[in-house]
Amino acid sequence: MTHPVPPLPTTTIAPPSGDPFHSSGQSPGVRTLHLLGPGAVGSAFLQQLTGLPVRTVAISDSSATVFDRNGVAVDSVLRHKAAGGALASLPRTERIPSELAVRVVAADIVVDCTPTRAADTQLAVARGRAALQNGSFLALCGKNALAAQVPEWLLGAFRGRVGVHAVLGGAGQQLVRELLDLREHASSLALVGNVTTTVLVAAIERGASLEAGIADATARGLLEPDPTLDLDGSDAATKLLLTWGAVFGESWQQPRTLAAVSRQDIRSLDVELVRQRARRGATTRLVARGSRAGNDLRVAYEEVPAGSPLAAPPDRVVYGYELPQGLRVHTGLAVGHERTAAALLDDVRAFLRAEVRS
């Protein structure tokens, strides 16, 4: 079904003048926001945004940017996208690369909900860098750019300006709060950060085939737009890389890449072994591990005792940090596109609160 789209009140993008951080101008206290990627997460985020002192002044998809410093007609844009339309097919949109749009719009807050694709990592980094160099707050839900930049974005001059709550499935604010302590004292990481594989293991334990489990996870919207990332362990490995980089990495070192992480594909999993463990009262999880030395990064299906913090149920992620006093566990519940959007919103709220305090 298609929806009629009323003309959008767009204006030509002009470079901002004066202090970009106060680009909203007309309404003191109201922050401007640029959303990149009005897909499943981005659309849910914009729908949840009501009530905050934030005005959406730009929305970019892969084809173009809709811009209006007085506020974009968000509902019309979302209806257009839900009907399968590209932003470039709307009147008076700007067909410029989104990293350039970020630089020119110079919104106070940039929320990046573009797909996580290895081939696009440098573009994602360029978008994030453009936002941060403008003085914007950057909220992320994709992993690749953060994995490539993590010590610089979380610890350097941009500290406090990058929201990662959604990237870590709702466990990102805990990591940021405790980061300096973890960097000093943690010796290793143990993460169950990929919920899709937990859902698949639970299906196998109930007697379903892997294929039926994949169909169930797809119906629940839990698979990445590119499902291979979940199935071959790349998503879990990328989360390990970015968490390892945050806790143990240094900005002057080359970031480790996926090639440094040994990975197990769920399609090589022995399903009978998984069911045997379940009959014994244990379970199986895709656990990502790495020590401070960083020469042992791996993602593999492990037997996990039922009472272990790593035996995370399929509605949550667990990020474990080994400290002298034991494993410190951060749990996140931002699973699926609505909760991921809510985690992004938590980052925006935290940013607005910090602004009030400063």
Q: Residue 23 in contact with residue 33, Cβ under 8 Å? A: no
Sign of CA dihedral 127, 131, 132, 134: positive
| Of residues 118 and 293, the one with the C-beta less far from ligand NAP | 118
Q: How far is the CB of 235 from ligand NAP (least distance, A)?
A: 8
| Of residues 39 and 71, the one with the C-beta less far from ligand NAP | 39
Q: How far is the CB of 122 from ligand NAP (least distance, A)?
A: 12
Dig out the tokens for 124 from the structure. Answer: 């994602």
Q: Which residues contact 109 (CB under 8 A, 6 or more apart)?
A: 31, 32, 33, 34, 54, 136, 137, 139, 348, 351
| Of residues 113 and 186, the one with the C-beta less far from ligand NAP | 113
Q: Residue 46 and residue 50: Cα distance in Å, rounded?
A: 8
Dig out the tokens for 122 from the structure. Answer: 């440098």
Residue 271: closest CA among 207, 314, 217: 207
Residue 337: closest CA among 173, 227, 223: 223
C-beta atoms surrounding 350 within 10 Å: 17
CA atoms within 13 A on the CB side of 279: 7
Nearest 10 degrees: CA dihedral of 346, 350, 351, 356? Answer: 140
| Of residues 23 and 60, the one with the C-beta less far from ligand NAP | 60
Q: How far is the CB of 249 from ligand NAP (least distance, A)?
A: 21
Q: How far is the CB of 236 from ligand NAP (least distance, A)?
A: 13
Sign of CA dihedral 202, 204, 210, 211: negative
Which residues lie near ligand NAP (CB under 6 A)?
36-42, 60-63, 86, 98, 113-116, 141-142, 221, 224-225, 336-337, 340
| Of residues 115 and 135, the one with the C-beta less far from ligand NAP | 115
Q: Residue 112 and residue 58: Cα distance in Å, rounded?
A: 12
Q: How far is the CB of 153 from ligand NAP (least distance, A)?
A: 16
Sort strands 298-304 and 317-323 into parallel, antiparallel or unpaired.
unpaired
Residue 94 is given by DSSP the state B
Residue nearest to ligand NAP (CB): 39
| Of residues 60 and 284, the one with the C-beta less far from ligand NAP | 60
Q: Residue 32 in contact with residue 108, Cβ under 8 Å? A: yes
Q: How far is the CB of 350 from ligand NAP (least distance, A)?
A: 18
| Of residues 67 and 248, the one with the C-beta less far from ligand NAP | 67
Q: How far is the CB of 244 from ligand NAP (least distance, A)?
A: 19
Q: How far is the CB of 286 from ligand NAP (least distance, A)?
A: 16
| Of residues 60 and 283, the one with the C-beta less far from ligand NAP | 60
Q: How far is the CB of 61 from ligand NAP (least distance, A)?
A: 3
Distances (CA, A) of 299 to 110, 222, 265, 283: 32, 19, 9, 16
| Of residues 128 and 322, the one with the C-beta less far from ligand NAP | 128
Q: Residue 268 and residue 160: Cα distance in Å, rounded?
A: 41
Q: How far is the CB of 258 from ligand NAP (least distance, A)?
A: 15
| Of residues 189 and 222, the one with the C-beta less far from ligand NAP | 222
